Amino acid sequence: MTTTAEITGAFLERLGAQDAEGLGALFAEDIDWIVPGDPDLTPWAGRRTHRSEVPAHFRDLWSALVPGKSVVSVTAVVTEGDEAVIFAVFDHVAAPTGRPFHTDVALRLTVVDGAVTRMHLFEDTAATAAAFA
């Protein structure tokens, strides 16, 4: 597994399986990671710079959502060279409040030497914040 398309496919498979450790293994040691939002409200939001931080991000995210109430619909995956963009729709329910939320997302991955070096998420942070506030 070394191409951008292969790594992106593995990322989506491990995300669907909620395999936090497996997701972390796809990343380079040093990363450029941005998930927008207020970390005080949504602890998985923020910057990450090391592979070791990746599994905790996903565990924090998944623990904040009502199990069995999430739907992630991937609508397109575009890869070119080292870059991949995943277009999707997230529908979740916030565990602390019971409020549902919906957000269209674009997720940019950069793959260098068979490892993800960049992950930037673009989503409706206002909808997410409203569900958790």
Q: Is CATH 3.10.450.50 the right assignment for the domain spanning 4-132?
A: yes
Determine the Cα–Cα distance for residues 89 and 75; give it in Å rounded to an integer. Answer: 7
pTM of the model: 0.94
Q: Report the candidate in 47, 133, 123, 58 with the shortest Cα–Cα distance to residue 94.
A: 133
Per-residue pLDDT tens digits for 23-82: 999 999 999 999 999 999 998 999 999 999 999 999 999 999 999 999 999 999 999 999
Tokens in use for 19? 């395999």
Domain residue spans of the chain: 4-132
CB contact burial 79-98 (16+ within 10 A = b; e otherwise): beeeebbbebebebbbbeee
